Amino acid sequence: MNEIYQPGHHPYQDAPLSQQPQRRPILAIREVNRIYHQGEREIHVLNNVSADIFKGEAVALVGPSGSGKSTLLHILGLLDKPDDGKVYLKGHECSDFDDKQRTAMRRSEIGFVYQFHQLLPEFSALENVIIPQLINGSSNKEATSRAKVILEFLGLSHRITHRPNSMSGGEQQRVAIARAIANEPSLLLADEPTGNLDPSTAERVFQQLMGLIRQTGLAAIIATHNMELANRMDRVIQLQEGKLYTFTPQQPQQD
Ligand SMILES: Nc1ncnc2c1ncn2[C@@H]1O[C@H](COP(=O)(O)OP(=O)(O)OP(=O)(O)O)[C@@H](O)[C@H]1O
Ligand SMILES: [Mg+2]
Domain edges within the chain: 25-254
Mean pLDDT of 203-221: 92
Q: Answer whether 95's CB lies under 8 Å from 85's CB.
A: yes
**What spacing in Å lies between the alpha carbon of 82 and ligand 1's midpoint?**
14
Cα Rg of the chain, angstroms: 18
| Ligand 2 midpoint to CA 68 (Å) | 7
Helix-then-strand count for the chain, H and E: 7, 11
Q: What is the pLDDT of residue 22?
A: 54
Query: What is the pLDDT at residue 115?
Result: 87
Find the mean pLDDT for residues 183-189: 96
Q: Is the pTM of this model over 0.75?
A: yes
- Please state, rounded to an integer, the average pLDDT across all residues of the chain: 87
Task: Name the percent of the chain lying above pLDDT 70.
Answer: 88
Ligand 1 is surrounded, with C-beta below 6 A, by 36, 38, 43, 45, 63, 65-71
Ligand 1 centre to CA of 90 (Å) is 27
* Dist. CA 66 → ligand 2 center (Å): 7
Q: What is the pLDDT of residues 25-60, one digit of tens each?
A: 999 999 999 999 989 999 999 999 999 999 999 999
Amino acid 3: pLDDT: 32
- Is 186 in contact with 28 (CB distance < 8 Å)? no
Q: How confident is the model at residue 248 (pLDDT cuts 50, 70, 90)?
A: low
Sheet holding 27-38, edge to edge: 41-53, 27-38, 84-89, 92-93
**Is residue 140 very low, low, confident or very high in pLDDT (cuts 50, 70, 90)?**
very high
Ligand nearest to the CA of 37: 1
The band of 249, judged by pLDDT with boundaries at 50, 70 and 90, is very low
Kindly report the protein residue whose alpha carbon is nearest to atom 1 of ligand 1: 36
pLDDT at 17: 41
Q: Give how far Cα 61 sits from Cα of 135, 163, 224, 235, 240, Å.
A: 30, 31, 6, 9, 11
CATH of 25-254, one of 3.40.50.720, 3.20.20.70, 3.30.930.10, 3.40.50.300: 3.40.50.300
Predicted confidence (pLDDT) at residue 250 exceeds the cutoff of 70: no
- What pLDDT shows up at residue 2? 32
Give the pLDDT score at 180.
Answer: 96
Q: Cα dihedral sign for 69, 64, 247, 222?
A: negative
pLDDT band at 254 (very low <50, low <70, confident <90, very high): low
Local confidence band at 255 (pLDDT 50, 70, 90 cut-offs): low
pLDDT surpasses 50 at 13:
no
177: pLDDT strictly greater than 90: yes
